[in-house]
Homo-oligomer: A and B are copies of this chain.
Amino acid sequence: MATNGASTNGAKKHKYNPTFTQTVINATGPKATPRVRQLTASLIQHLHDFARENDLTVDEWMLGVELMNEAGRMSDDRRNEGQLVCDVLGLESLVDEITFKLASDAADEPTATAILGPFYRHDAPKLPMGACIVDEKTNKEGDRTWMHGTITDFTTGKPIEGVEVDVWHTAPNGLYEQQDPDQPDMNLRGTLTTGKDGKYDFYCLRPVPYPIPYDGPAGKILKALDRHPYRPAHIHFLLKHHGYKPIVTQIFDRNSKYIEDDAVFAVKDSLLVDFKPFQGDPKADFELPYDFKMASFEDAKKHGVAGATQPSTA
């Protein structure tokens, strides 16, 4: 039983009932898995410490509950507001770092990762190599860009055949297609598969900075923290191959505003790219060369990568 700290008579080391948190942790039964036991014990300890250290009141806690409930109610297969709340608190970037970290002494390293973000959609259209992911009828604006590169094995340096390259980015108005009734379904999304040479190429637009949706709990948090909601211009990638650790990443336009203060803290040095003025191709004004290096599952395990398995999003 959780005894009322105020009514016990013994010497008190703590302002609040000093046995309460252990009581809650100890309630876990014998059949809980070791990992569940570890994670919940740690979560309970941190949540309780957070409450005690800040003398968290019922009203403040209830504000948090209502924010989280509101986030859940806004979430569906097109929007994940709970994820967005985590993103503005840096949590997705952190678990991304944790999950895909390679031992820092690796001689070489595969492409760095960045958060998936809440706008990924399964089943983007499969396109032939060299295709254009821009719906030309609706997207009159934007700098047309030819992106291309090679996907290699980060240990052997050899090109990888059969990599599924899933790409998505926002329209010039700063909206992903599922946020924007004026864009056709799956606009600015596509999946391409590499051939024997490991090369990929496609036409897209040079992305622009945009605000994350701030009409929900994530926006309320940003407002309360006096923070802007903008992300620097970037293109999302999810690379999959049965023999390789999937790569979830974003590449960022080095010259974009907000590179230094991304609202969701996803920018990494190695993911900065340069859009180069491009001539001689009537379909593109800019060229964007970018190579990816993938770690095989075997190598990933060898180098101590946590979670070297297919992600739940794959």
- Using CB atoms and an 8 Å cutoff, list the residues of chain A in contact with chain B: 1-7, 12, 15-17, 20-21, 23-24, 27-33, 36-40, 42-44, 46-63, 65-66, 68-75, 80-83, 86, 89-102, 104, 109, 112, 116, 221, 224-227, 248, 259-262, 265-270, 306-307, 309, 311-313
A134 CB to nearest chain B CB (Å): 29
**Can you tell how many copies of this chain the complex includes?**
2
A136 vs B273: C-alpha distance when bound (angstroms): 74
Query: Which of B7, B63, B75 makes the CB contact (< 8 A) with A72?
Result: B75
B44 touches A46 (CB 8 A): no
Contact partner of A20 (CB less than 8 A), chosen from B42, B94, B306, B313, is B94
Residue from B1, B46, B96, B225 in contact with A58 in the complex, judged by beta carbons closer than 8 Å? B96
The residue that A80 contacts in the complex, of B38, B65, B260, B261, with Cβ under 8 A, is: B65
A98 smallest CB distance to B (angstroms): 6
Question: Quick check: A20 and B93 within 8 Å, CB to CB?
Answer: yes
The residues of B that contact A266 with a CB separation of less than 8 Å are 2
Interface pair A62/B312, CB less than 8 Å apart: yes
- What residues of B have a CB within 8 angstroms of the CB of A89 in the complex? 24, 40, 43-44, 47
Q: A55-B306, A58-B307 are in contact. List 15 more A-B contacts (CB 8 A).
A: A3-B268, A5-B104, A16-B101, A40-B221, A44-B89, A46-B47, A47-B89, A52-B94, A58-B116, A58-B312, A59-B311, A61-B91, A69-B81, A69-B82, A73-B73
Chain B residues near A60 (CB, 8 Å)?
39, 95
Q: Are B4 and A57 in contact (CB under 8 A)?
A: no
Q: A68-B71, A72-B71, A269-B7 are in contact. Are A39 and B27 (CB under 8 A)?
A: no
